Structure formats: structure tokens, C-alpha cells
């Protein structure tokens, strides 16, 4: 019997609108499990005109009674999580009895954030322009087997021992930065013990919980962070995040086997964006880029940084679909393209005088490729708030159908605005 579960993955450089899609799906699910990333990923959800930006809490937290799970694959900043929980409580949304954090989730410490900026500065012109949220150094400590895990903060003796070792790994950075507050290990341990007292009721064996839920025919929604093109192995390396943002990260980040995933939904914007440095084949610039950026509100939900923008890249999209075994597509921000008379889609690349569609994003040649664009007529009519497929302008429908035809994947959802109601579900 097919598992009663669904995975939602980003197929671009993140910022595809996963938060809204997950929020929509969570109304039909029993639990939502976050499997990767950290507080560098912000999922934006609008409910009754109120905007929520969730950094660590699963997007299903806004649905009353939904179980929210944070897997061991997440880089957990306990201070940010504490703030998120408190801010939601002020708005009448509580997590007591329904939030569970895996005991093996690694922590992001203040020194990781300082190390993030320090290490990037050492690259000079080759800086990656990270979010400075400490994600990379935290994951680096994890794979170096010196990371501090959630379970460690409940054993003072072990905590002191591990903190000393973590500090020894970052000694150069701590000394170079010269922040005396950063060197106060006793104070840090005290703060972590305080956090431990608050988080103790939430700590659990998340993998076992998920397997029990699915075995009981409960519907579980798996939530990814960022997108395929930021995967540390499969993305535009080294301009990537430090985790596995693809389907493989789900299994290692939650501790469950592939047989527990019933369906995979891939999220893509109707165009492309990315934050920070790195190759972007279909990027556009100048006044047109500024118009698209302003129309889509393309600024980072966590950092506020302006996003780079470009036309939809079908070469990269098709590869992401294959790599993740995507069954259905959700296309977001269709309404952002309403004002454009002409649209373009990148269908292949030009490289060294030859046309190709076989350059993977993690290949060095990806940075040298030029887009081969197909012109498509715009629709010049507002689509904002339309929630029926028949309500779309003819050319908007043709644009959606074109994407489905070229990717050979059915489009299941179309987002025409930020609110829950501005959503089209394509039947059949």
C-alpha cells in the first residue's frame, strides 16, 4: 500500500514559495516534518492578511492541532527557535504538546555565526556571500564529529567537555574577532542549560514518531528548505548551502527509508531568482530585472537582500525534477508576470559555440553557459486572486501548459498571490 505521505521540495535556489504550499497541504495532513536547513531559510505564509516568516518551525505550525517535527538534519539555532515560539504565542498560537525536536539535531552556537562571517571574509574576491547565520560552520562541526547536539545540553558534565572541544576548533576565529563575550564559556553553558529546561518537553525520537504515524495511516508532510540548486552536492557548488536540500536529505535528515514517501511535489516559481553570488544562466539585468524584482517583492525573507532575477530555466528545472523523482509541480507567483507583454523561457544553453541541455548545475561549465531563449506571449491581464483554472487568461494557461509539456510533469497547483485563497488546484 502506498504510504500516506507527501514531500515538498524546492526545485530552484530556494525562495520558491514552499511555505505557502506546505501551509495549504498541512490543512489536509496530520503532521509536518522539517528535514534540513537552518534559520537561513525563511518560509513566508500569509493568513488573513497577517504575514508570518518561519525560520525553523515547520510551516504547518499555523494550523491548529497539527503535529510539528524537526529532524536531526536541521541545523538548529535554539535562540531563534525560542524567539519563534514566543512570538507565535503572543499571537495565540502555541506549540505545547505538538512540537517535537529530534534529540540528535545539531545546534548552531553564537561562535558559529561569527565563524561564518570570518571564514567567508578569508575568501576575498571569492566570498560566497553567506547569510552569516552560522549554518556552514555548524554542519562542518557535525561532519567533523565535534558538533553539539540537542541531547547534549541535558548533561552538564558532557556539555562542558564538548563546549571546550568546539571552542578549540574555532580558536583562531574567536581570537581574531576579539569579542570577549564570545569567549565566556561559562555564560554560554548557563544559557544552554536554560534553553534545555524550556526545550526538554519537546525532545523526542522523531524518526520513530514518523514511522509510527505513517504505519497508522496518518498523513505526514515532509518539508524541505532551500532548493535543488543549493544542494551541497548537486547544486551550483561552491555557491550552495551546506546541507542536502534534495530528496536524499529527507531520508538522512529524518532517519526514514524511501518506502515511507508516497508522493513528491516540486515547487518552482514561474520565473527564477537567487540570492548571493554564483552562476545564473537565465539571469536578466537592468530596468527589466528591476521591474520583475519589484513586481515579485524579491527580497530575502530572512536577510532582506535583493534577489537576482531571471527567466524560467527549463534545463535546470528538468534536471531537478529527475533528481528528486517529482510526481507533480506547483508553480508559484504566476501573478508576478501579469504586467509583462513578452516572456521568455530558457530551453537550452549555448556553450563554446554549440547548443546543449546536458550541463549539470554542479559542473564547472555551468558558469560559462549562455541561455537560448524562447519568446512566449504574455497575457497582460491580472491573475491575482484567481482560484479556478478556467479563470486564467488564455495565454497564462498556455504558459502553464507549456511548462508541463516540456517537463513531462503535470501541474497540480498554481499560486496567484500570497494569501491561502489565491490558489488554483488543477484537477485530473
**What are the grid coordinates assigned to 105, written together?**
539535531
Return the closest-CA partner of residue 77 out of 195, 190, 223, 239: 195
Instruction: Look up 120 and say whether it is catalytic.
Output: no
CB 117 within 8 A of CB 137: no
Helix (H) / strand (E) containing 292: helix 286-296
Return the closest-CA partner of residue 12 out of 275, 211, 219: 275
CB 111 within 8 A of CB 170: yes
> How far is CA 339 from its chain centroid?
28
**What are the grid coordinates assigned to 169, written together?**
576548533
Sign of torsion over alpha carbons 419, 83, 132, 153: negative
Instruction: Look up 43 and say whether it is catalytic.
Output: yes
Residue tagged active-site, from 15, 23, 77, 102: 15
Q: Looking up cell 530596468, which residue turns up?
A: 287
Calculate the alpha carbon distances from 256 to 22, 196, 249 in Å: 20, 26, 10
Helix (H) / strand (E) containing 269: strand 263-269
> How far is CA 387 from its chain centroid?
25
Q: 43-67 burial by CB neighbour count: b if 16+ within 10 A, else e?
A: bbbbeeeeebebbbbbbbbbbeebb
Q: What is the DSSP letter of 271?
A: S
Distant-in-sequence contacts of 82-88, Cβ < 8 A, 24+ apart: 82/195, 82/198, 84/54, 84/55, 84/56, 84/57, 85/57, 88/52, 88/57, 88/61
Calculate the alpha carbon distances from 300 to 114, 128, 269, 304, 402 in Å: 21, 16, 15, 4, 29
Residue tagged active-site, from 23, 30, 43, 152: 43
CA dihedral of residues 266, 100, 51, 410 (deg, nearest 10): 10
Give the residue numbers marked as catalytic.
15, 43
Amino acid at each position: 500500500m502506498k504510504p500516506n505521505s507527501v514531500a515538498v521540495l524546492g526545485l530552484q535556489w530556494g525562495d520558491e514559495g514552499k511555505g505557502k504550499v506546505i501551509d495549504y497541504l498541512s490543512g489536509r495532513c496530520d503532521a509536518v516534518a522539517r528535514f534540513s536547513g537552518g534559520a537561513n531559510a525563511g518560509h513566508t505564509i500569509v493568513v488573513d492578511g497577517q504575514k508570518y516568516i518561519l525560520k525553523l518551525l515547520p510551516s504547518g505550525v499555523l494550523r491548529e492541532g497539527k503535529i510539528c517535527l524537526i529532524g536531526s538534519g536541521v541545523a538548529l539555532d535554539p535562540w531563534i527557535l525560542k524567539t519563534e515560539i514566543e512570538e507565535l504565542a503572543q499571537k495565540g498560537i502555541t506549540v505545547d504538546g505538538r512540537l517535537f525536536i529530534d534529540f540528535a539535531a545539531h545546534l548552531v552556537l553564537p561562535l558559529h555565526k561569527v565563524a561564518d562571517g570570518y571564514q567567508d571574509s578569508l575568501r576575498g574576491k571569492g566570498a560566497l556571500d553567506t547569510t552569516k547565520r552560522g549554518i556552514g560552520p555548524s554542519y562542518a562541526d557535525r561532519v567533523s564529529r565535534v558538533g553539539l547536539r540537542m541531547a547534549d545540553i541535558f548533561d552538564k558534565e558532557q556539555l562542558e567537555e564538548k563546549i571546550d572541544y568546539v571552542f578549540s576548533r574555532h580558536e583562531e576565529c574567536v581570537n581574531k574577532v576579539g569579542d570577549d563575550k564570545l569567549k565566556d564559556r561559562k555564560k554560554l553553558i548557563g544559557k544552554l542549560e536554560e534553553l534545555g529546561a524550556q526545550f526538554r518537553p519537546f525532545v523526542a525520537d522523531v524518526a520513530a514518531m514518523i514511522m509510527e504515524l505513517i504505519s497508522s495511516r496518518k498523513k505526514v508532510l515532509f518539508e524541505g528548505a532551500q532548493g535543488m540548486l543549493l544542494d551541497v552536492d548537486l547544486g551550483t557548488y561552491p555557491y550552495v548551502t551546506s546541507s542536502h536540500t534534495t530528496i536524499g536529505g529527507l531520508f538522512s535528515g529524518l532517519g526514514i527509508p524511501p518506502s515511507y514517501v508516497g508522493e513528491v511535489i516540486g515547487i518552482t516559481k514561474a520565473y527564477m531568482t537567487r540570492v548571493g553570488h554564483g552562476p545564473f544562466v537565465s539571469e536578466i539585468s537592468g530596468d527589466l530585472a528591476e521591474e520583475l524584482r519589484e513586481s515579485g517583492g524579491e527580497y530575502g525573507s530572512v536577510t532582506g537582500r535583493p534577489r537576482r532575477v531571471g527567466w524560467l530555466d527549463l534545463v535546470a528545472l528538468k534536471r531537478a525534477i529527475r533528481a528528486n523523482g517529482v510526481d507533480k509541480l506547483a508553480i508559484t507567483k504566476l501573478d508576478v508576470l501579469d504586467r509583462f507583454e513578452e516572456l521568455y523561457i530558457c530551453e537550452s544553453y549555448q556553450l563554446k559555440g554549440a547548443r546543449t541541455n546536458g550541463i549539470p548545475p554542479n559542473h564547472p561549465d555551468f558558469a560559462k553557459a549562455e541561455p537560448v531563449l524562447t519568446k512566449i506571449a504574455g497575457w497582460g491581464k491580472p491573475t491575482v486572486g484567481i482560484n479556478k483554472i478556467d479563470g486564467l487568461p488564455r495565454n497564462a494557461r498556455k504558459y502553464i501548459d507549456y511548462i508541463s509539456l516540456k517537463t513531462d510533469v503535470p501541474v497540480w497547483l498554481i499560486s496567484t498571490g500570497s494569501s491561502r485563497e489565491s490558489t488554483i488546484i488543477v484537477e485530473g
